[in-house]
Amino acid sequence: MARTKQCQKLLTSHDVRQFEAVVLAVSDLGGATRSVDTEDVAIRCRELGPELFAWRKYPEQVNLELVRVCLSNAKKQQNGVLLSGSGRDGWRLTRRGLEWVTQRTKEQGIGTSRKPTHGRRTAGSIDTVRRAREIARIEASVAWATWRAESRIDESDARALFRVDSYATSQLVEIKVTRLLALFDPGTEHRHFLEVAANVLRVRGINDA
């Protein structure tokens, strides 16, 4: 998988801290669009960087407790609030986490000479079908029409775009925003539009991490 190879290259080519390694593992497991179990993260960490979470006496084993601690650390403000979730509910990338993974990949020059990720997905795959469906929905929205005509997005239209009402918790808004952003490659028009719309919610205090 191309994404897995990118994460492996990041871990071997840069001084990645342990809490950052678990963020990469969550990303690699699709944590931008779904919750990921702690044990799955531990196994992926073992695959991506075997030495980072190995026991001292039994290096072939992954230290699950250390992975748990690092997952919790990745939620902290001082570490950028890159993840949300818990051991019970699973772990997800926050919008900040998605942006962090994208930036680190860009800094390392990983994948810059390749075609966009979404262009490499198999026609008819779940992600491709969902992306096509969301493009149609986005382009039919009031937010899209206003943005294209007037370079602005109203808060009510941003809410409708992300399907959140005034009663939605910040956690739910975070999940819906990140899930939709993750469908589109950075630098594309739809991704930029969604980032602008997400910022409207953030400015209004709805989506503060």
- The confidence score (pLDDT) of residue 164 equals 94
Residue 199 phi, psi dihedral angles, 5° rounding: -65, -30
Q: Would you give the distance in Å from CA 166 to the centre of its chain?
A: 24
**Structural domains for the chain:** 2-107 (1.10.10), 122-203 (no CATH)
Element containing residue 35 per DSSP (H, E): none
Distance CA 95, CA 129 (A): 23
**pLDDT attached to residue 114:** 33
Q: Sign of the CA dihedral 23, 29, 33, 37?
A: negative
The pLDDT assigned to 107 comes to 74
pTM of the entire predicted model: 0.78
Q: How confident is the model at residue 15, as a pLDDT? A: 65
Per-residue pLDDT at 115? 37
Q: Looking at residue 80, what is its pLDDT?
A: 95
Alpha helices in the chain (DSSP H): 2-13, 18-28, 38-48, 64-73, 95-107, 126-139, 142-150, 155-162, 170-181, 189-203
CB-neighbour burial class of residue 60 (10 A; exposed 0-12, middle 13-18, buried 19+): exposed
**Phi/psi of residue 84, each to 5°?**
-130, 165
* DSSP character at residue 77: G
**pLDDT at position 56, please?**
87
Tell me the pLDDT tens digit for each residue of 64-97: 999 999 999 999 999 999 999 999 999 999 999 9
- Could you say which residues of the chain have pLDDT below 50? 1-2, 13, 110-122, 205-209
Name residue 84's amino acid: S
pLDDT in the model for residue 199: 93
For residue 122, what is the DSSP state? P
Q: How far is CA 141 from CA 2, 7, 130, 189, in A?
A: 33, 35, 16, 15
In the prediction, which pLDDT does 144 show?
98
Alpha-carbon gap, residue 208 to 189, rounded angstroms: 24
